[in-house]
Amino acid sequence: MIVIHHNPKCGTSRNVVAIVRASGTEPVIIDYLREGWTRAQLLGLFAAAGLTPRAALRANVPEAAGLEDADDEALLAAMVKHPVLVNRPIVCSPRGVRLCRPSEAVLPLLDNPPPPDFRKEDGKPLDA
């Protein structure tokens, strides 16, 4: 099973969903902006992906203002309050957990590659 913590407004996130589907797997999609996060969930995902809260922070959104010097606990609290602060997509598979930016970062998590002629939504081929 592959789980994608997905933002449907994000092109990279949509590409990852398409790549997984093209590989022959229907992912479980979690719209984390709707569902939100728990502190424990974030800690588990970050530990599994080898990320720190700072490394997973989406710093280019208004909700990140004032978090430049925040410690991990403050970042986690902000991420729970404002789910948009977590960069995406985060993909969980039996092969591991990754923040899949760029979208090609999902490839090592798949049992089967997408077809060689697969194109991202902008028409570009995957950089495998």
Q: Cα(127)–Cα(49) distance, rounded to whole angstroms?
A: 21
User: Of the listed 3, 10, 64, 107, which one is catalytic?
Assistant: 10
Residue 92 catalytic? no
Which residues carry out catalysis? Answer: 10
